[in-house]
Amino acid sequence: MKPKSRAPEQDDLLRPRLTAMIDMRHELVRLEALIDWAFFEREWAGFFPSHTGRPATSPRIVAGLLYLQHAYGLSDEAVVARWVENPYYQHFCGETFFQHRPPIDPSSLTRWRGRIGEEGVEWLLTKTIEAGREAGVIRERSAEAVIVDTTVMEKAIAHPTDARLYEKARLRLVKLAREAELALRQSYARLAPRLAGQVGRYAHARQFKRMRKGLRRLKGYTGRVMRDLQRQLDAVTDTALRERIEGEIALADRLLRQKPKDKGKLYALHEPEVDCISKGKARVRYEFGTKVSVATTHREGFVVGMRAMPGNPYDGHTLREALEQVEILTETRPRRAFGDRGYRGHGVETADVYISGQRRGMTPALRRDLRRRSAIEPAIGHMKTDGRFARCPLKGSLGNALHAVLCGCGHNIRLILAHLRALMAEILRVILNAIAALIPTEGPSETQRPLPA
């Protein structure tokens, strides 16, 4: 059922309002006044077509929690728990009086993300851009010059070794067989875990011949369990359970058939869409996740576009889509785009694209602007260290798309809060200097004045 607008709370003489408990000069209080919360009340109602059932949670609370979660790098459980303790969080989410109980169950955030989809979280990013303009962080024409880059958003998976994948596939197949009450000839519950650990020790000792022999045996164990379960599949009468078993068998068969040099390899059974991406980093050779395109304003480093690019596409092929997203979110067409050498051969004609190391047609001003291209690197670093961009906990390709955009929202919120904090400090400094200028300085006393000659 569609969410209903919250009824205005009546004055309670025995309960102090939040505005009487908090400092109204705090940056979260000032940011709350800059965001158009009525937009979410109006637009998110369209995601609830049913007219029956219990009304959904207020979109104002959900939008506020999502902003706070990614601004401060919190999990679903942590942001709800901190909301109960922090009056500024409650005021930011639209509460009038201090609440002593959580507003929602943390699992509701998962359902809300799945309900609003990528379009809904892009609206969240759009409202941070509008709030940035209202606060003075960016200007109306800031989106005409953007810096574009790609990075890897790693997935919450373990490092994909062959031994671990074979053992995990066997465990999942055995679990489904027990759920379907199918008797396997042998589950290898004793032999397989011991062999998987031994394979790891062989690899550490650089005894690769023994390691490969152990992997072949472990692969055989998983294949026997898979074929045994496949032979008894006709005995499963539950349609839903049968589909789950068929899907798990397909994944296990894909895992057993893949070769070391194959493209589109399976790196995680619970996340089959994970890509193996090599970015040439000295500290880590491969990263397992998805590629994300990031677009920031050239002058301020404000995020005006973020999008997950599944399939590890070439950077130059992502530029057109990135600039289109910037135009949609900011309602401003980018005229200049700055990128690294990975964007050569982009084929974009709607904007002037400048690549690192370019010399032809460059003026001194353009050279100076191009040197600032590297400013996007610390912005990405802050999103990974201060936010939640380093590791995506959401499931599937949709989870990658939602998490990337929400991390951009959190980065913008942090920039706005820092700007409001610095602005308040500057105002206080000016006031104190003015007060100090009005206080007259004390002259020498009568006894200290020199005597007349």
Closest C-alpha among 394, 410, 408 to residue 117: 394
Phi and psi at residue 295, in whole multiples of 5°? Answer: -125, 125
Q: Of 52-56, 249-253, 273-277, 367-371, which gets the smallest average pLDDT? A: 52-56
Indicate whether 447 pLDDT > 70: no
Residues contacting residue 148 through CB under 8 Å, at least 6 positions apart: 293, 294, 295, 319, 322, 323, 337, 338, 339, 343, 376
Dihedral angle sign, alpha carbons of residues 436, 438, 441, 445: negative
Structure confidence at residue 451 as a pLDDT band (50, 70, 90): low
What would the 3-class secondary structure string for 109-158 be? HHHHHHHHHHHHHHHHHHHHHHHHHHHCCCCCCHHHEEEEEEEEEEECCC
Q: Per-residue pLDDT tens for 416-432?
A: 999 999 999 999 899 99
Answer whether CATH 3.30.420 is correct for domain 142-157+275-393: yes
**pTM (2 decimals)?**
0.89
pLDDT band per the 50, 70, 90 thresholds, residue 212: very high
pLDDT of residue 43: 87
Could you tell me the maximum CA-CA distance found in the chain, to the nearest angstrom? Answer: 123
DSSP 363: -
Contact in structure between 400 and 54 (CB atoms under 8 Å)? no
54: pLDDT strictly greater than 80: no
Phi, psi of 47 (to 5 degrees): -85, 0
Q: Give the distance from CA 320 to its chain's centroid.
A: 22
Per-residue confidence (pLDDT) for residue 450, from 0 to 100:
58
* Residue appearing with tokens 């500290």: 283
pLDDT at site 14? 73
C-alpha span between 88 and 98 (Å, rounded) = 10
**Cβ atoms of 69 and 36 closer than 8 Å:** no
Which of 166-180, 236-250, 316-330, 357-371 is least confident?
Answer: 357-371
Mean pLDDT on 108-136: 94
> Over the stretch 255-264, which tens digit does the pLDDT of each residue have?
999 998 888 8
Which sequence spans correspond to the domains of the chain?
18-135+412-419, 142-157+275-393, 162-257
**Per-residue pLDDT at 11:** 64
Q: Is the pLDDT of residue 10 over 80?
A: no
